[in-house]
Structure 1
């Protein structure tokens, strides 16, 4: 009888001890979990700070560089979309008809010059855009006894020419001392005071940070 009672006294004690061990393990696991969370949070903050620093550095680099995408889309400059690009240079085909001297001045105001045609590639490019209209070019005979000269000093005598047959001719004995492209893009001499469209030409701007609009 006493033996059975002793066994009964032992059972509750054993049960309580058995229940405490899982609770202790749970507390330990929770503590470890919190610790891991804190470590993870600290690592995340560190990485976020590093990423923010890298993004800031990248932004500053990009801010100091030219808009490369704009350069590829608009090689003559995103602010001058009316200019057309061809073979490293930019061209403006005017919508206004003026005298040759006025055309020369208007091109110079845009850091450009009346176009110099130095070969078939440029000639073909121009004649596909002049619509059989009269466009002034940078060729004139205003000096040196009507000898034709290019505005950039290129050698006219040995250079490319694309005169219409019979030109230049001073038609009806008029002083036709300025050159233009006309029908089929062929060159024609014309009175410099007449109003015609004009073609400006300038180098394409550089994509490098030190680059600037060609002058």
Structure 2
């Protein structure tokens, strides 16, 4: 009888200890979950704050980037960063047309671009132009329309007193009325009638086209 009572007391003790252990384990689990949830919430808040701050910094950076890039664009394309038809060489900007037209219309088109048909002054300039024209016909600003046989550039300079690069035997006024000059094969100059359809080259001095910065 005594033994049965002891076994019952021991069983009751074990059940109480197990219940107490289970309760403590449940509490520990809930506590860990609560701490984990708190840490996750804090981490999320910090991450969102960082993301907002970073987004604001990137927004400011992208707002400033176009202003900074403008200067670099003009370093790479000093004549006009918005078009590749204007090219820079030795202090001047040159426009190479994509369409053919008469000499008179070519002159007018250059004037619309605040420029004039090209005047070629040196061998270096000649070399630059002939590498761009690639044996195509391009009008230049040289004509004898005012006085037959007296070739002048549009800026008033006499062709005979400066640099020339006529093809051998030119100018010859072969068909009569060949009063305008163009660059032809190997960049050599040739006279032809002024209504002949050719590409054209405009030129103008390089000007500071950078936008004014407000201080």
Any unmatched runs of 5+ in structure 1?
A: none
Residue 103 of structure 1: which of 101, 106, 117 is its match? Answer: 106
1:2-59 CA deviation, whole Å, 9 max, x = no partner? Answer: 8725444433222221222211211110111010110011012101211221232133
SS at match of 2:201: strand
- Give the aligned partner of residue 150 of structure 1: 153
Q: Distance in 1 between matches of 2:11 and 2:185?
A: 122
SS at match of 1:165: coil
Aligned CA distance change for structure 1 residues 23 and 61 (closer, same or farther; 3 Å): same
Give the count of matched residue pairs: 203
Q: Distance in 1 between matches of 2:65 and 2:124?
A: 36
Q: TM-score, normalised by structure 1?
A: 0.67
Any unmatched runs of 5+ in structure 2?
A: none
Q: Distance in 2 between matches of 1:204 and 1:152?
A: 13
Aligned CA distance change for structure 1 residues 12 and 123 (closer, same or farther; 3 Å): same
Q: Distance in 2 between matches of 1:194 and 1:136?
A: 11
SS at match of 1:164: coil
- Give the aligned partner of residue 180 of structure 1: 182
**Aligned-CA RMSD value:** 4.3
Question: Contact 1:76–1:90 (CA<8 Å) still a contact in 2?
Answer: no
Residue 43 of structure 1: which of 46, 70, 78 is its match? Answer: 46
SS at match of 2:44: helix
